[in-house]
């Protein structure tokens, strides 16, 4: 990656992070779980639903271009 791409990508990441924080503040969002507890719950849910997940069909999603 060249210097311009690195700077541009860093700026996009900062903007996205700032937007996310602002949005969370605007809607008064708070985490219900600590990070470690959330990871454990996510893993438990995944393991309990692994067969359902494997049966899902892939969906094409549009993602924003970062650089």
Question: What pLDDT does residue 6 have?
Answer: 82
How far is residue 67's CA from residue 65's CA, in Å, rounded to a whole number? 6
Q: What is the pLDDT of residues 7-31, one digit of tens each?
A: 777 777 777 766 777 777 777 777 8
Mean model confidence pLDDT for the chain: 80
Q: Count Cα neighbours of 37 within 13 Å in the Cβ-side half-sphere.
A: 4
For residue 33, give the nearest of 45, 23, 22 by alpha carbon. Answer: 45
**pLDDT interval class at 40 (50, 70, 90):** very high
**Which stretch of 34-38, 47-51, 59-63 has the lowest confidence by average pLDDT?**
59-63
């Amino acid at each position: 990656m060249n210097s311009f791409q690195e700077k541009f990508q860093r700026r996009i990441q900062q903007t996205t992070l700032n937007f996310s924080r602002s949005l969370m503040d605007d809607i008064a969002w708070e985490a219900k779980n600590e990070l470690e507890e959330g990871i454990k719950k996510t893993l438990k849910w995944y393991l309990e639903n692994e067969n359902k997940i494997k049966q899902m069909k892939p969906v094409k999603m549009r993602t924003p271009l970062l650089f």
